[in-house]
Amino acid sequence: MSKTTRLRIDFVSDIACPWCAIGLAGLQAALVRLGDRVQADIHLQPFELEPAMPFEGVDAGEHLMRKYGIDEAQLEANRAAIRERAAALGVTIAYRPGTRVWNTFDAHRLLHWAGLQDSERTLALQRALFHAYFADNENVADRSVLVRLAVDAGFAADDARRMLESGEYADDVRALERRYRLEGIHSVPATIVDNRYLISGGQPPEVFERTLDELARGRQATDAG
């Protein structure tokens, strides 16, 4: 029987990033495949792609074409590729007319607060936020939406609402975002293992599985030596 290796995984992401939803699903699928070989402590870390986004959001198609200098045909090709990759992992990305880009700062505060309490429920909350954003086109800057998603993930409505209305953890989230930018993270998802190894992008499960297995074996060899 192989020995279990415990790894710390910091998953740096933004709710507004479809590749982050794909990457988290790929990471979790890889951990299922690894079984008892790896026990992961996953810490969700904040990264805002659009920190100046207004509460009411902006049209996603127009915003992305302007931001990346692409035309409508290129936008649709990119979206089709994203939908296909996501669907293979059970993630719904439903682009439609009227899809918007939303501000995610309060959502990151909510995740930070949740992560101080229960890691598994926090992962469920992260998945719910991705679904709300990409499948349902819900405004995740709306605190009533955030409270509902927190309740669905198993957190108390009154506690979530109180935290959001207080402004608590705003400085913590901003400090973490600065930290990761200073460490050279400029795109997400970024999966950092044991504060040393970086896996960039929304990788498929087999890439996460192979990399984490290699890191676990390396740790075992070091410990044995």
Structure confidence at residue 1 as a pLDDT band (50, 70, 90) = very low
Share the mean pLDDT of the chain. 96
Structure confidence at residue 218 as a pLDDT band (50, 70, 90) = confident
Please give the full DSSP string across 8-42, using - where no structure is assigned: EEEEEE-TT-HHHHHHHHHHHHHHHHHGGGEEEEE
Beta bridge partners of residue 45, listed in sequence order: 12
Give the Cα separation of 194 and 113 in Å (integer). 22
Query: What is residue 225's predicted lDDT score, i.e. its pLDDT?
Result: 59
Structure confidence at residue 221 as a pLDDT band (50, 70, 90) = confident
User: CB of 103 within 8 A of CB of 57?
Assistant: yes
Query: What is residue 150's predicted lDDT score, i.e. its pLDDT?
Result: 98
CA 207 to chain CA centroid, Å, is: 17
Amino acid at 179: R
Give the Cα separation of 220 and 37 in Å (integer). 11
For the chain, the C-alpha Rg in angstroms (whole number) is 18
Query: What is residue 219's predicted lDDT score, i.e. its pLDDT?
Result: 83
Of 81 and 1, more confident: 81
Within 14-139, strands assigned E span 38-46, 58-59, 100-101
Q: Please report how the helices 18-34 and 72-87 are oriented relative to each other, as an axis angle in degrees rounded to 10.
A: 20
Tokens of 175: 């400090």
pLDDT tens per residue, range 139-182: 999 999 999 999 999 999 999 999 999 999 999 999 999 999 99
Give the Cα separation of 146 and 106 in Å (integer). 8
Q: What residues have CB less than 8 Å from 12, skipping those under 6 apart?
A: 45, 46, 47, 180, 185, 188, 189, 190, 191, 192
State the number of CA atoms in the 13 A half-sphere of 221 facing the CB: 6
Verdict on whether the full-model pTM lies above 0.85? yes
User: Is the model's pLDDT at 209 over the cut of 90?
Assistant: yes
pLDDT tens per residue, range 34-72: 999 999 999 999 999 999 999 999 999 999 999 999 999
User: Is the model's pLDDT at 33 over the cut of 90?
Assistant: yes
For residue 148, give the 3-state DSSP assignment. Answer: helix
Query: What is residue 2's predicted lDDT score, i.e. its pLDDT?
Result: 67
Query: What is residue 224's predicted lDDT score, i.e. its pLDDT?
Result: 65
User: Is the model's pLDDT at 187 over the cut of 90?
Assistant: yes
Give the Cα separation of 13 and 20 in Å (integer). 6
Domains identified in the chain and CATH numbers: 5-56+102-217 (3.40.30.10)
Q: What residues have CB less than 8 Å from 113, skipping those under 6 apart?
A: 160, 163, 168, 169
Taking phi over 0 as left and psi of -120 to 50 as alpha, with beta for the rest, 169 belongs to left
- What is the mean predicted confidence (pLDDT) over 175-203? 97
